[in-house]
Structure 1
Amino acid sequence: MLLAAAWMLVAASATAGMGSLASPAAESLQFLFSYIVGRAFFFRPPALNTFIRVLKILTIAMILIAAAENIAGRWLAHEAAASIFGTTPLGAVFRGNTIRATSTLDHPILFGVFCALVNAILLLWERSAGRRLLFSVICLAGCVLSQSSAALMAYVLGVAAYVYDRQMRQTPARWTIFWVLFGGAIGAVFLVTEHPIGWLVSHLTLDPETGYYRMLIWDAALERIGQSPLTGYSFQLFNENILDSTVDCVWLVEALRFGIPASAFLFLANMAAIWPAGRRKAPSADEFDQRMNLAFAIVLLLFVFSGITVHFWNYMWIFWGLCIGIKASLRERAVSR
């Protein structure tokens, strides 16, 4: 995390100069400070319990706002905030004739993916099967209201990981088996298909036209990254319609802004937090830690995977750093026993 944050500042200063560090510093420090909050304040079970309890309440409130937006056909939260602060609200996004709800977040995709991530946490936090089902359905409603393929994909993967762990609980090597099968499937895609990234992106979207557009983004972004692989271009514009409008991949965005090392450090920060603490069986008293370790490991993997077709910024960027910090704290507790 320190290397990722530091590299963003170093790369941006090398590219655009010290006078252009406002946006790079904001992105870097948001991510690093949210991680530090996760490491400092959610190290013990009572604090983490309180955090998830509040997170659940806020998520339900956000989904209720999203349902109201669906009925009204307007982004109610954004309009309310704009009227309070005297600004212009963001324009609502539609798919067909139906509004894509965004609630209090910046984009429907971010809202939908957020609901999917919270679902993965609540599935392993709630003790009652009935409450798990109830809140999972509520989170699914948020994903559906966002009309985001990335959100629905993340929801399905989170539920599948939970069910897989429950069904294979008696198999100690269940996650080793999972990663072998997953790696084999990805390897097959890269061996068999002519454009592996294009195949993955096109199959992770509901709209084929959207998938095709994302393939154009990848081609244009990779060409630019190849011209400045170490430091990127900071927040400079490219004078290209595709790259200057939207780049729907957090890994490409970070590489474009701060070079390949920034994306590499970001990926390694997630992997370092997820990496197994050891094979020693933990005592039954640590059952809460075991469940939360798995929950936040799933969340980080969903962030990593969803990032192939989603760019995270503002609140979701901060939430990502916070989740890495929480998972790192849980891992440290497991290592210290």
Structure 2
Amino acid sequence: MAVTHPEETYTRAQTRDTGAKLNILVVFFLFSLLVPLTIELAGIKLLAYRAVALLLFFPAFIAWCRGQAGPRIFADYAMIGLSAWFIIAMVANHGLGVWQTVGVHTAELLGCYLLGRAFVRTPVQFFKVAKLLVVCFSLLLPFALIEALTAQNVLLQLWSYVGSAFPDVDHEQRLGFDRVQGPFEHPIHFGVYGGALIGLACYVYGYGRGVWGRIWRTGLVALTAFFSLSSGPLAAMTAQFGLIAWDVILRDVKSRWWILAGLVAIWYVVIDILSNRTPIEVMISYFALNAQTGYGRILIFDYGMQNALANPLFGIGFDDWIRPAWLTDSVDMFWIYYAMIAGLPAGFLVLAAYFGMMISVIKRPLTDPKMRQYRMGWIVTMVGLFMAGWMVHFWKVPFVLYCFLLGAAGWFLTYKPDAISDDVKDPQDERKFNYTRFPVRRGRQTESF
């Protein structure tokens, strides 16, 4: 009989009680992301999701401390370190008067990450998270079409009858459509939120559905997110569809991901040698929706890095950054933002948390084909967010969604098939097709359709 460490797996009794249920705190949090209201809590006006994040911080942190998230991992300490260093840097730059700002930031960054770590712990729970995200966003398509064609944000108008809803911001037309804002504060939020769900829609919510079942579920999300008409989200979706296509076309090639990694490395070296621009600048210019947007992002990267290197320890805080007078003050690049405002240690930690979790999940041996597909869905989604982060900043809803999804992958690192009770059934298993156009292959594992 195999012996497992008590912290590494759930007992069968524990799984029967909790493995098939998605914690109500997670459901509450995910729904709050789509509520475009400003509410009052203890005399302070807060966005709906932010109030929820503040309320859930201590339950999530206590659950993590009690071991409900399993063994501590590198990404946990990177996120804790990022939260702590952000506090230190903000106090160093602005004094103790920033306590409200750093408190909210800690709840959003660390609280939402730990919510995913502690309360998404089984394959069934992960599936339900993916399903909830994909279905809720897909239901926004009719409203997105109305807004894209008429410039009328019906959702915000309806929510305004309930409470203080977000304003319908001014945004230009692109490709003949009005950019869709939906129930968010900005079209970029709409695009990043939906554009990040391609991998989850295809590999997790679409698992066991057959080819066309996956196509229409994934396509519905992509079509809805498209109407944000924002370069960052479109880049994220392009990257995810590229990975899916590579996976499908080379499904019989076991080393296909090593080949792809090698090609990317070769591309990076060749561009770095032959071009007068950095590979990142080249990538940004090609993924931008128009030349002006691409040029602006390149300048943000150049001047942003100059500001970070000039203030390496604590950054510039919330002070204005040095740039040409005509360049926007918005830092539309998540991966350099922390280095700018909180110093190079913060910039290192935000990347360390991402790559720490990504590498750990990729290296985790998984023999169950379904779990390999689930893992592929999460990886594709996170690669999409990585691409988007070079062209937009994650703030508010996109930021907390990123933190939550990063933490929600922790269960892959402790999953063991024999730890899941036979009494707990994945809701997909009852709807699988007995027929598939592809032959069943024995003795090898793939992560393709």
Q: TM-score, normalization: structure 1?
A: 0.90
> Given that residues 119 and 136 in structure 1 are in contact (C-alpha distance below 8 angstroms), is that contact kept between their aligned partners in structure 2?
yes
The structure with the greater share of residues assigned to helix is 1
**Partner amino acid for 1:212?**
Y
Deviation at 1:205, TM superposition (A): 0.5
Q: What does residue 105 of structure 1 align with?
A: 184
Q: What does residue 94 of structure 2 align with?
A: 16
- The CA distance in 2 between the partners of 1:199 and 1:57, in whole Å, is 35
1:236 pairs with 2:319: yes
Q: What does residue 48 of structure 1 align with?
A: 126
The 1:183–1:66 alpha-carbon spacing in structure 2 relative to 1, beyond 3 Å, is same
1:219 pairs with 2:302: yes
SS at match of 1:199: helix
> Given that residues 285 and 291 in structure 2 are in contact (C-alpha distance below 8 angstroms), is that contact kept between their aligned partners in structure 1?
yes
Q: What does residue 153 of structure 1 align with?
A: 235
Q: What does residue 252 of structure 1 align with?
A: 336
Q: What does residue 120 of structure 1 align with?
A: 199
Deviation at 1:92, TM superposition (A): 2.9
More displaced stretch, 37-46 vs 84-93: 84-93
- The CA distance in 1 between the partners of 2:224 and 2:305, in whole Å, is 33
The 1:69–1:190 alpha-carbon spacing in structure 2 relative to 1, beyond 3 Å, is same
Q: Which of 101, 115, 126 is residue 37 of structure 1 equivalent to?
A: 115
Deviation at 1:244, TM superposition (A): 6.3
Number of corresponding residues = 335
Deviation at 1:276, TM superposition (A): 4.8
Percentage of identical aligned residues:
20
Deviation at 1:277, TM superposition (A): 5.3
SS at match of 1:146: coil
Deviation at 1:44, TM superposition (A): 0.5
1:51-200 counterparts in 2 under 5 A?
51-82=129-160, 84-86=162-164, 89-96=167-174, 98-125=177-204, 126=206, 127-128=208-209, 129-196=211-278, 197-200=280-283
Bigger CA radius of gyration? 2
Deviation at 1:175, TM superposition (A): 1.6
CA deviations 1:169-212 (Å, max 9, x no partner) are 33332222211111111222222111214322221201111112
> Given that residues 230 and 258 in structure 1 are in contact (C-alpha distance below 8 angstroms), is that contact kept between their aligned partners in structure 2?
yes
Which runs of 5 or more structure 1 residues have no equivalent in the other structure?
none
Which runs of 5 or more structure 2 residues have no equivalent in the other structure?
1-78, 420-449
Task: Please provide the CA RMSD for this pair.
Answer: 2.5
More displaced stretch, 90-99 vs 136-145: 90-99
Deviation at 1:239, TM superposition (A): 7.7
- The CA distance in 2 between the partners of 1:281 and 1:31, in whole Å, is 29
Q: TM-score, normalization: structure 2?
A: 0.69
Deviation at 1:222, TM superposition (A): 2.2
Q: Which of 286, 291, 297 is residue 203 of structure 1 equivalent to?
A: 286
Deviation at 1:279, TM superposition (A): 6.6
CA deviations 1:266-322 (Å, max 9, x no partner) are 111111111155878633xx2222111111112222212211111011111111011
